[in-house]
Amino acid sequence: MARTLITLILLSLAPLAHAIDAAELLRQVDRNLQPDSYEMYRKLINIEPDGRRKEFVLYSVKKGGDKVLALFLDPPSEKGRSTLRLGDNMWLYIPNVGKPLRITSLQSVIGGVFNNADILRVDFAAEYAAEGVDESADGYTLKLKAKNSTVAYDRLVMQVDKKHQVPVTIAAYAASGMLIKTLRYSQMKDFGDGRLRPSVLETDSPLYQDYKSVMIYASIKTRDLPDEVFSLNYMGRVDDLRGK
């Protein structure tokens, strides 16, 4: 009788032992999307309803969970501009302007559907708490809540590929429950470290009917960077990092 009771208890606990830890899955998603510290080249494309396109080329570096610096390389009208993010704080540097200008996460330095939070994305785990996860045959649904009111989106619903543990789609919501935008990851690619990562990110929004923005990752490479790089004083010297 005692042995039967113990067996029943163990069986009842078995599902708990295999339960997915939502916070750990979110941390793994962050690492699978990008290294902890890196340098990256990417192209951003804004596509208007009539088919017109505007393209930007950026060189970016990141360190840890919440430091990101990006330099505009193209078009010529934007060349030399840089943007810096330290946690919730963001700045835009424009050559020949006296000092960096404060910008917000919901603004966009390039226009289009991507905002500054998308362009200068830090780790999801730095901004969002994982409230729960549901599992299906081919993936997970992560439910995320912003840690404070300065985060661009109040809630995210992230569909995660089970094999690669990277996002497939992310639905971003305001505090009112309104859908702000949907982000779609695709085209898995090995950037040289043996790990497959999405190389294309597309977004659209019901707030920008028939507009679309696309981010294409050309290269992502692990790189250790000193803290001094991520400072207001360095924003005019980002190009010095390239080729080193």
- What is the predicted pLDDT for the residue at 4? 55
CA–CA gap between residue 39 and residue 221 (Å, rounded): 5
Terminal C-alpha separation, the chain: 71
Reply yes or no on whether the pLDDT at 138 is more than 90.
no
Confidence at residue 12, expressed as pLDDT on a 0 to 100 scale: 45
Q: How confident is the model at residue 2 (pLDDT cuts 50, 70, 90)?
A: low
pLDDT of residue 49: 97
- What does the pLDDT read at residue 229? 97
CA 17 to mean position of chain CA atoms: 30
The token duo for 76 is 């010529």
Average pLDDT over residues 140-164: 96
In this predicted structure, the answer to whether residue 10 has a pLDDT above a threshold of 60 is no
Percent of the chain clearing pLDDT 70 (strictly above) = 92
Rounded to whole angstroms, the Cα distance separating 214 from 174 reads 22
The pLDDT of residue 233 is above 50: yes
pTM of the model: 0.89
Domains and CATH numbers, the chain: 21-241 (2.50.20.10)
Cβ distance 6 to 71 under 8 Å? no
The pLDDT of 108-124, averaged and rounded, is 95
Asked if the model's pLDDT at residue 9 lies above 80, the reply is no
Task: Flag whether pLDDT at 13 surpasses 80.
Answer: no
Model confidence at 55: pLDDT above 80: yes
CA 240 to chain centre: 25
* pLDDT mean over 180-201: 96
pLDDT score, position 243: 75
Over residues 8-19, the mean pLDDT reads 44
Please give the mean pLDDT across all residues of the chain: 92
Q: Residue range 139-164: average pLDDT? A: 96
17 phi and psi, to 5 degrees? -65, -25
pLDDT at 20: 82
Residue 57 has pLDDT above 90, yes or no: yes
Least confident range from 11-20, 25-34, 105-114: namely 11-20
DSSP-assigned letters across all residues of 183-229: EEEEEEEE-SSS-EEEEEEEEE-TTSTT-EEEEEEEEEEE----GGG
pLDDT (0 to 100) of residue 3: 56
- Which secondary-structure segment (H or E) carries 127? helix 124-127
